[in-house]
Chain A
Amino acid sequence: MADDAKKKEIFEKLRNGVIQYDEDACREGAQEALDAGLDANEAIFDGLVSGMEEVGRLFEAQEYFVPEILMCADALYAGLDILKPHCKQMDLGVKGSVVIGTVEGDVHDIGKNLVKMMFDVAGFNVYDLGRDVPLDKFVEEQLKTDSELVCLSAMMTTSMVGMPKVIEKIKEKNPDCMIMIGGAPTSKELADKWGADGYAEDASNALKEAIKMVAFLKKLRDEKLKK
């Protein structure tokens, strides 16, 4: 096993690799973590996700904008692709599968992809339907996969209005399924009115919401480890 200093150094490399959108550093850091026999889950959360949390903060402070976030996401994936096959199944008491996509009439998927990334990180099974997805497809896919979460994204007002139909149909068949809506035109009021369980108005908020959720999972994991 690597000593603590070595471990810290590797996690720091992963974290900074994400923050400085350095894909090579993330790849190297991930490989070093594996070579040193570190826990892959830990490397993901304390390295990559920790970096992404800082990116979220930089975005809020308007030091980073969307291009930077996209590059940070690429760096995170570069590390994640190496670490993920070595992850132990996280036993968190949730099954963790999610159906995600941009609704029909909308071809924007940046926010959706950022949220997807955080689900990937958290070890969810992600069923990504892509963009411009016919509304019934969400309902079908939810039923087929029995996912406990469905995320609907739309960037344009002109496509958002399809959302309530999907929510209604899913809730009718499976009232326990949680639904998160996201995109510039969405709001808490609309989420409430349409019966969605959560919302995020833009990519950064979506990222924040997803980080919050993943951080919560991490807390659960840490508590479990302590026991």
Chain B
Amino acid sequence: MNSRERVLKVFKGEQVDRVPCFSGMGNVTEAAINQLGYKFAGIHLDAKMMADTAASTYKMFGFECGVAPVDLCVEAEALGCVINVYPQAEGILYPTIKEKLIHNEGEMDSVKIPSDLASRGRVPLLMEAIRLMKSDIGSEVAVGSYVLGPFTLAGQIMELNDLLKLSFKKPDKVARLLDLMADAIIIVAKEYEKAGIDYITVREMGATSDVLSPRVFKNLIMPPLQKISRELKVSSVLHICGKTNDIVIPMAEAGYTAISVEQKNDVAETRKKLGPGAVIFGNYDPYNVLVSGPEELVRATMRKCIDDGVSAIWPGCDIWPTVPPENMKAMMDETIKYGGKN
């Protein structure tokens, strides 16, 4: 069973020899970027560099996937926001939104999806990167991509501050915007599907239950998330950050193949709640464990994830690029040694 088969089987809920160790979010490493002779700021703007970098985590460490993009601004940029890739930065800085699309409440109703969304911004570049990665490593590992969730995307194209307040004061208005965001996300996701991805992760990071009440989550966030899942053809993952224990049931009911939770989720409890059939990915801390931790903490954390009942070892967020190669190796080694025990 190679990595690709293992991951695809997990998505189907079939028996595997051990849990896989992969991600649906960014996982490029500085070690690989340096080896390739690239610069972090450059890999977002060049399909080949992006594909090479994305494939390198598998090639160097056996991490069981290839994922592009690397940043979180693709959809917002295609919708018309201006991004900053920090071309002059010495270290690693992820692109951010420089210029929003909606500047006040009144503009919420006038925002439209450009009819050529699929060919705007870096969507075509992403398709090329996915194709390149697919022909490079696609027979050995599953190739994935990600899009933002509707609320998170809305929080990029307008002030998050305003969006949060309006989600309380004027939920109908926000609901309309989120529905539109879902349409935009579906268009981008379908392009990635055409390019040949095996799975896609929807990252609804802004809608964590640390921020919004479970009631708002159910009324406002769920409907557009369900709209997206209905349209996806490939295996899909719904990722939400923060303390998600109170919303894992609606998460599981949102229609995605798998759910992804981070370190603040008590996965043993989640597994108990959702039952043995649910596909649950998680939930190690990619910074405080994988980057900062001594090797023994990395190994112990992987064992705990497996004991808690994850379907795949999977990080709580993007893997931070300065991750020490020894820790990547320890993570893979421990997964292989211990991951078949259940």
Contacts of A187 in B (CB 8 A): 288
**A-B contacts, CB under 8 A, total:** 74
Bound complex: CA of A70 vs CA of B162, how far in Å?
9
Top 3 nearest A-B pairs (CB, nearest first) are: A67-B168, A105-B93, A66-B211
In the assembled complex, how far is the CB of residue A83 from the closest CB belonging to chain B, in whole angstroms?
23
Q: Which residues of A contact B84 (CB under 8 A)?
A: 132
For the complex, is B338 an interface residue (Cβ under 8 Å from A)? no
Residues of B within 8 A of A178 (CB): none
Question: What's the minimum C-beta distance from A159 to chain B, rounded to whole angstroms?
Answer: 7
Task: Name the B residues within 8 Å of A132 (CB-CB).
Answer: 84, 96
Please, how many angstroms separate the alpha-carbon atoms of A134 and B100 in the complex? 20
Question: 9 other contacts beyond A65-B216, A184-B210, with CB at 8 A cut-off?
Answer: A65-B212, A66-B210, A67-B167, A71-B165, A105-B86, A113-B161, A156-B94, A158-B94, A184-B242
Contact across chains for A159 and B91 when beta carbons are under 8 A apart: no
Could you show 17 A-B contacts with beta carbons less than 8 Å apart? A66-B164, A66-B210, A66-B211, A67-B168, A74-B165, A104-B93, A105-B86, A105-B89, A105-B96, A109-B161, A110-B160, A110-B161, A157-B318, A161-B320, A162-B91, A185-B288, A190-B288
Find chain B residues with CB under 8 A from A67 CB. Answer: 164-165, 167-168, 212, 216
The reply to whether the CB of A107 lies closer than 8 angstroms to some CB of chain B is yes
A interface list, Cβ under 8 A from B: 62, 65-68, 70-71, 74, 104-110, 113, 132, 156-162, 184-185, 187, 189-190, 193, 202
- Distance (Å) between the CB of A131 and the closest chain B CB? 9
Can you name the residue of chain B whose Cβ is closest to the Cβ of A160?
B287
Interchain CA distance A156-B292 in the complex, whole Å = 16
B92 within 8 A of A: yes
Q: Which residue of B lies closest to A63 (CB)?
A: B213
Shortest beta-carbon distance, B119 to chain A, in Å? 27
**A113 / chain B contacts, CB cutoff of 8 Å:** 161
Please encode chain B, from 255 to 297, with 1 for each CB lying within 8 Å of some chain A CB and 0 for all others.
Answer: 0000000000000000000000000000000111000100000
In the complex, what residues of A have CB within 8 A of residue B213's CB?
62, 65
Cβ of B97 under 8 Å from chain A: yes
B96 nearest CB neighbor, chain A only: A107
Residues of B within 8 A of A190 (CB): 288, 292
| Known A65-B213, A67-B212, A158-B320: A108·B160 in contact at CB below 8 Å | yes
Per the CB 8 Å criterion, the residue count for chain B at the interface is 31
| B288:A189 contact, CB within 8 angstroms | yes
Residues on the A chain within 8 Å of B292, using CB: 189-190, 193
Q: Which residue of A lies closest to B100 (CB)?
A: A107
- Given A105-B86, A202-B210 in contact, is the A161-B161 Cβ separation under 8 Å? no
- Considering only residues 154-189 of chain B, those with a C-beta below 8 Å from chain A are 160-161, 164-165, 167-169
B310 located at the interface, meaning its Cβ lies under 8 Å from any Cβ of chain A in the complex: no
**A157 cross-chain contacts in B, Cβ below 8 A:** 286-287, 317-318, 320
Task: Across the interface, name the chain B residue whose C-beta is closest to A71.
Answer: B165
Quick check: is B322 within 8 A (CB to CB) of the other chain? yes
- Among A107, A160, A162, residue most surrounded by chain B Cβ atoms (within 10 Å): A107
Q: Tell me the smallest distance from the CB of A164 to a CB of chain B, in Å.
A: 11
Check B91 against A158 for contact (C-beta < 8 Å).
Answer: no
> Which residue in B93, B168, B288, B318 is a CB contact (below 8 Å) of A68?
B168
Closest-CB distance, B262 to chain A (whole angstroms): 10
- What is the 8 Å Cβ interface bit string for chain B, positions 291-321, against chain A (1 contact, 0 not)? 0100000000000000000000000011010
Interface positions of B from 61 to 110, Cβ below 8 Å from A: 84, 86, 89, 91-94, 96-97
User: Out of B96, B97, B211, which one reaches A65, CB within 8 Å?
Assistant: B211
Q: Give Cα distance in the complex from A184 to B287, angstroms.
A: 12
A65: chain B residues within 8 A (beta carbon):
211-213, 216
Which residues of chain A come closer than 8 Å to B93, judged between CB atoms? 104-105, 158-159, 162
